Amino acid sequence: MNRFVLALKTFWRTLTDADFAARVEPLFSRQPTGPDLRILAVLQRDGRLVDFLEEDIDAYTDAQIGAAVRDIHRGCRKTLHDYLTIEPILTGPEESQVHIPADFDPAAVRLIGNVNGVAPFNGVLKHHGWRVRSVHLPVLPVARDDSSVLSPAEVEIP
Domain limits, the chain: 1-30, 34-85+134-150, 90-128
pLDDT per position as a tens digit, 65-116 = 999 899 999 999 999 999 999 999 999 999 999 999 999 999 999 999 999 9
pTM comes to 0.66
Q: Using an 8 Å Cβ cutoff, are 99 and 75 in contact?
A: no
Torsion sign across C-alpha atoms 27, 33, 39, 42: negative
- Say which amino acid occupies 62: D
Contacts 24+ apart (CB under 8 A), 62-70: none
Report the candidate in 18, 42, 20 with the shortest Cα–Cα distance to residue 135.
Answer: 42
Residue partners of 76: CB distance under 8 A and separation at least 6:
43, 46, 47, 49
Average pLDDT estimate for 129-135: 93
